[in-house]
């Protein structure tokens, strides 16, 4: 396995692509396509299938024979000692073309397998990328929460010194700060394992990776209802139908007679016992032969097999189309649900922030319980973490929709 060592500095910037916040990850796509061993194997299989087209153009082997007469037959012009022959069988008109067409159709199927695998790889890379993005967002939120708790600790210490609060409030903050730090470490571990899996997916080894995480967007656009496009997984069945039809055409051509052209050459020894015309004249005998299938049951059986293949492919295509349409509808609804959830979480987070500000002011004037403030702070943290998950789900479902509608670039 060729593992490429790289040093990557990734900038997470939430741009706008097709009305949706996203990160340009074309570089990772190209890197994965270059390094992924499964994709390379499929490419080699396509090259192999393409080479079979050249093989299909070849004629059958030329037959060359030589024989020695054990008992030399004596003819009027002399004795025959050896015999040489050469023969070339020629397929019926159009059979070579039929073989080429069939080989070409199989090469097209192999190419579509590569296209499908490439799109699936891009889908996996994009979804893994968004999961990493969500983890970095959550780690950043926890880091901000730790800083905020430190500021609350200063307020609580000032209140304790002024005799307006209890030292229990400071201990609560310490407990909450330890909890936030532990959660941040857990997410860091998840991120490291996710990054390792991500770089295994693109078959590269990261030596340094840093992320700059921007603010989450305020709102997400409503996705338009998608329509299943000319998907490569369905296009593959068109190529398979064509390959079966070409295989049947080849089968019919194979049932036709074959023509053989040959030449026999027999050197003749010159007679020494008498003088006659053409004594010792060699024999040259051009030959034409025909080969035809007397029993046609194998060809009829192949015709029936091809009919069964066509029927099976039609059923598989309908099943695959239904599945893709179901996946598309589910992904679109999932994206819409993630958008609704993100909007609700955003509104609740804003309301929670306002409540925290009110409680903080009231706490400083001894009009609020510090426990209520910590409870609201925990709620805000939960909402912000869920917002990142909703945003990542929106992006992941969106990229799945793009995959299913055969969006260019995925």
Sequence-distant (6+) residues with CB within 8 A of 187 are 135, 138, 139, 142
Q: Is residue 7 predicted with pLDDT exceeding 70?
A: no
pLDDT tens, residue by residue, 286-321:
988 888 787 888 889 999 999 999 999 999 999 999
Q: Quick one: angle between helices 167-201 and 370-404, nearest 10?
A: 10
Assigned token pair, 166: 């209890």
Sequence-distant (6+) residues with CB within 8 A of 58 are none
- Going 381 to 383 to 387 to 389, the CA torsion angle's sign is positive
Mean pLDDT for the stretch of residues 64-83: 75
Mean pLDDT for the stretch of residues 379-405: 93
Q: Is residue 21 predicted with pLDDT exceeding 90?
A: no
Calculate the alpha carbon distances from 142 to 10, 11, 76, 187, 381 in Å: 21, 20, 111, 10, 8
| % of the chain with per-residue pLDDT over 90 | 40
Q: Nearest 5°: phi and psi at 69?
A: -75, 115
pLDDT tens, residue by residue, 149-191:
888 888 888 877 777 667 888 888 889 899 999 999 999 999 9
Q: Is residue 355 predicted with pLDDT exceeding 60?
A: yes
d(CA 359, CA 369): 8
pLDDT score for 287: 87
Distance of CA 73 to the CA centre of its chain: 71
d(CA 71, CA 81): 8
pLDDT tens, residue by residue, 227-246:
887 889 999 999 999 999 99
């Amino acid at each position: 396995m060729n593992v490429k060592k790289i040093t990557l500095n990734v900038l997470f910037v939430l741009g706008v692509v097709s009305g949706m916040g996203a990160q340009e990850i074309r570089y990772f796509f190209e890197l994965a396509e270059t390094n992924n061993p499964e994709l390379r194997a499929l490419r080699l299989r396509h090259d192999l299938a393409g080479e079979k087209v050249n093989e299909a153009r070849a004629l059958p082997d030329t037959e060359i024979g030589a024989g020695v007469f054990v008992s030399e037959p004596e003819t009027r012009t002399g004795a025959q000692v050896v015999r040489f022959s050469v023969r070339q069988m020629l397929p019926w008109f159009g059979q070579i073309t039929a073989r080429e067409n069939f080989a070409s159709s199989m090469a097209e199927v192999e190419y579509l397998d590569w296209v499908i695998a490439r799109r699936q790889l891009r889908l996996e890379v994009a979804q893994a990328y968004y999961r990493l993005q969500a983890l970095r967002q959550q780690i950043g939120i926890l880091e901000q929460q730790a800083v905020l708790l430190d500021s609350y600790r200063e307020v609580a210490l000032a209140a304790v010194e002024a005799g307006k609060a209890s030292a229990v409030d400071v201990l609560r903050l310490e407990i909450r700060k330890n909890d936030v730090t532990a959660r941040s470490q857990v997410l860091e571990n998840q991120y490291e394992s996710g990054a390792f899996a991500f770089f295994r997916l693109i078959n590269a080894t990261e030596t340094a990776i840093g992320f700059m995480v921007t603010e989450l967007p305020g709102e997400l656009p409503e996705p338009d209802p998608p329509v299943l496009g000319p998907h490569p997984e369905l296009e593959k069945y068109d190529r398979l139908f064509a390959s079966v039809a070409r295989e049947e055409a080849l089968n019919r051509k194979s049932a036709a007679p074959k023509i053989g052209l040959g030449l026999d050459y027999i050197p003749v020894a010159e007679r020494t016992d008498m003088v006659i015309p053409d004594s010792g004249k060699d024999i040259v005998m051009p030959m034409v032969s025909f080969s035809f299938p007397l029993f046609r049951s194998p060809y009829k059986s192949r015709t029936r097999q091809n009919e069964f293949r066509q029927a099976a492919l039609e059923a598989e295509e309908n099943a695959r189309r239904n599945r893709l349409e179901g996946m598309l509808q589910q992904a679109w609804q999932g994206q819409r649900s993630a958008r609704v959830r993100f909007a609700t979480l955003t509104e609740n987070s804003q309301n929670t922030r306002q409540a925290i500000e009110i409680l903080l002011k009231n706490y400083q004037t001894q009009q609020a319980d510090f426990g209520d403030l910590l409870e609201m702070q925990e709620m805000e943290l939960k909402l912000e973490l869920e917002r990142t998950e909703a945003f990542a789900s929106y992006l992941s479902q969106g990229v799945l929709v793009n995959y299913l509608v055969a969006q260019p670039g995925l």
